Amino acid sequence: MGQARELMDRATEAVFARELDALREIYAPDVVVSTPDEGVLHGVDAFIDYMRQMTEAFPDMSYEMTRMHEAGDCAIDQGDVIATNTGPLAMPNGTSLPATGKQVRLRTIDVATVENGRISRHDFYFDQMEMLVQLGVLKEIAATV
Write the CB contacts of 145 (distance below 8 Å, at least 6 apart in sequence): none
Length of the chain: 145
Q: What is the pTM of this model?
A: 0.90
pLDDT tens string 16-30: 999 999 999 999 999
Domains of the chain: 3-144 (3.10.450.50)
- The answer to whether 89 and 57 are in contact (CB under 8 A) is yes
pLDDT digits (tens, 9 = 90+) for 45-65: 999 999 999 999 999 999 999
